[in-house]
Structure 1
Amino acid sequence: MKTVTVQDLVNRFSLEVLAGRTELHRVITKPKTHRPGLEFTGYFDFFSHAHVQVLGRKEITYLHKQTEEERNLRIGNVVKYHPPCFVVTHNQEGLKYLNKYCEEEGIPLLRTHESTSKFSDLMDNYLSKALAQEIAIHGVCVNVSGIGVILRGKSGVGKSETAHTLIRRGHRLVADDMVVLKKTSPETIIGTHNGKSKEFLALRSIGLINVSRLYGRRAFQDETRIVLDIELTKWQDNALNNDLELEQKFTDYLDVRIPHIEIQLQPGRDVAGLVEAAANNWYLKQQGYSAVEDFMKRLEDN
């Protein structure tokens, strides 16, 4: 199971440590943050205690208005579940009572100047990716007009060359050779690089190039949502038919089904153009348009 430590959060978001400095090694295993509003009122049936606890103005103002006895009870009931940490937003002050309990229970108490909504969004986004289940596959990942595409195929088939042509047409490289796939939700796969190969593309007969240096920063994108899996294969006579609509196939990555297309290669065939057509056609289908249905309707109308 992937984990993130409280220290990782402190470093990532430049958080101020108010209490529990010796416990920054505590691990976080759950994505998404939680605001313990109902829990401070005594309702614990659905308390997400394993999540990072965010205390915004509503929660802190509520605690400030309680008597010392009531406040001690409210806080004591929450800290006994030992959440990984508390983060106070808006640089709120007057937190001596929180410091006391967090020090006693060994729970890091952190503070940020960010607003509650912005910080929660940033933290949720970070944790969902950092804790995401992931695999690495051999291939190339590109973003074609905002659409994430994996190019797969045997070594030497032309994946990187196709990606290079797409980059020259204004599209973006995400990863070459080794593509890291992360499952950030039951329906979402994110494609990215492994860090070492960031911005690099290996071209046979040319060698290694840095696409950002060669074509500008817009030639590279750090990650993209994967919606198409395209396999490049060698040409086989009589293997392809001019059907109006091919049966949809899928590839499973981390139990997420991604539409799969096979494109056969032949000298003079515009493979990059076919990848563009496949990406744009997928987009139109998402908008509810079917070229086959449109064509058949025209035939019926005549």
Structure 2
Amino acid sequence: MKKITVENLVQKFSLKVLAGEDQLQKEITQSRAHRPGLEFVGYFDFFPTERVQILGKKEITYLHKLSKEERKIRIGNIVHYHPPCFIVTAGEDGLTYLKHHCEEQKIPLLVTKQPEITSDFITKLDAYLVKELAPEIAVHGVCVNVSGIGILIRGNSGVGKSETAHTLIRRGHRLVADDIVVLKKLSPQTILGTHDEKTREFLALRSIGLLNVVRLYGRKAFQDETRITLEINLTKWEKDALYNDLDQEVRYTDYMGVKIPTMDIQLVPGRDVAGLIEAAANNWYLKQQGYNAAEEFMSRIEAELSNADKQ
């Protein structure tokens, strides 16, 4: 898991530091922000103290209307729990009292450079934290986005994963990661595939060397991340090992508790592997829309047999 600090939030969202500049190395461990509403009126039974606390126009207006003594009590009750930081989205006017409390308790007080709609800011912040704090593993393979479908290509070293990715890029699809693919678990159903920064935009081809796909083919050849929806294993050719069943039984590979549909493609000279991956991706998409080619084919056969029986 990547380490996230308050300073990372300051840099990511261009926040202004009003207090606690020497406390920006505080770690953030929770992937959701919190708006303290009930806490300001004294209810703390479910107060998520380890979350980033967001103060919007509603909260700041409420605090402004309190008497000096009452405000001191309300804010004091919250800062007593030492959350990682406060972020104000309603501008910095009139925050002297809040700044004083944060300085006293050594809590960073941050403010957006321009007033923002609080719910919109929380959405952006949560999305960032969920990605950055997600459990992750690194696997050997290639990650591509084929017609909007994220595919993880696996196989033994030298089997042709990168060469296949290069063909897909030439056909208008996008590289996400080559060699090392970082998988992040965003939810019990979602695995995100991305690169490890060092290999960003690079594709390594044997006999050719290292390529920068963006320099060669333009921005459309690369994207930073994609949801993994299908895994394809490239395997060596085995005689009599191919199946001609109308509809292949779905197999799955488990990554951090998330099951990804998996299929094998055997390699042999002259076989259009990139074309087969395109077909697999498009066929998977059609199945998600409720269409199954094998079922339609069988229904035609059954209809023909039924008509023959009537004649």
Fold conserved between structures, TM > 0.5: yes
- Deviation digits for residues 261-285 of structure 1, max 9, x if unmatched? 1000111111101111111111112
Secondary structure at the residue paired with 1:142?
A: strand
CA distance in 2, matches of 1:180, 1:186: 17
Say if 2:235 and 2:267, in contact at 8 Å, map to a contact too. yes
Say if 2:55 and 2:90, in contact at 8 Å, map to a contact too. no
Amino acid at match of 1:143: N
Q: Which residue does 2:212 correspond to in 1?
A: 210
Q: Find out whether 1:143 has 2:148 as its counterpart.
A: no
Find the partner of 2:260 among 250, 258, 261: 258
Q: Which residue does 1:196 correspond to in 2?
A: 198
Q: CA deviation at 1:162?
A: 0.6
| Structure with the greater alpha carbon radius of gyration | 2
Q: Find out whether 1:6 has 2:6 as its counterpart.
A: yes
Q: Find out whether 1:19 has 2:19 as its counterpart.
A: yes
Q: Give 1:1-302 correspondences, 5 Å limit.
A: 2-112=2-112, 113=114, 114-302=116-304
So what's the TM-score if we normalise by structure 2? 0.94
Q: CA deviation at 1:201?
A: 0.8
CA distance in 1, matches of 2:301, 2:49: 61
Number of aligned residues: 302
Say if 2:162 and 2:203, in contact at 8 Å, map to a contact too. yes
- Deviation digits for residues 234-288 of structure 1, max 9, x if unmatched? 1111111211111111111112111111000111111101111111111112222
So what's the TM-score if we normalise by structure 1? 0.96
Q: CA deviation at 1:92?
A: 4.0
Amino acid at match of 2:52: V
CA distance in 1, matches of 2:62, 2:4: 30
CA distance in 2, matches of 1:171, 1:76: 55
Amino acid at match of 1:261: M
Amino acid at match of 2:162: S
- Deviation digits for residues 133-176 of structure 1, max 9, x if unmatched? 11111111100011110111111111011101100110000111
CA distance in 1, matches of 2:43, 2:277: 54
- Deviation digits for residues 181-227 of structure 1, max 9, x if unmatched? 11122221111111111111111221111111111111011111111
- Tell which deviates more after alignment, 57-66 or 159-168: 57-66
- Tell which deviates more after alignment, 99-108 or 109-118: 109-118
Secondary structure at the residue paired with 2:101?
A: helix
Secondary structure at the residue paired with 1:28?
A: coil
- Deviation digits for residues 90-121 of structure 1, max 9, x if unmatched? 32421112112111111111000233123212
Say if 1:139 and 1:159, in contact at 8 Å, map to a contact too. yes
- Tell which deviates more after alignment, 91-100 or 267-276: 91-100
CA distance in 1, matches of 2:65, 2:283: 58
Q: CA deviation at 1:45?
A: 2.1
Q: RMSD of the TM alignment (CA)?
A: 1.3
Secondary structure at the residue paired with 1:51?
A: coil
Secondary structure at the residue paired with 2:150?
A: strand
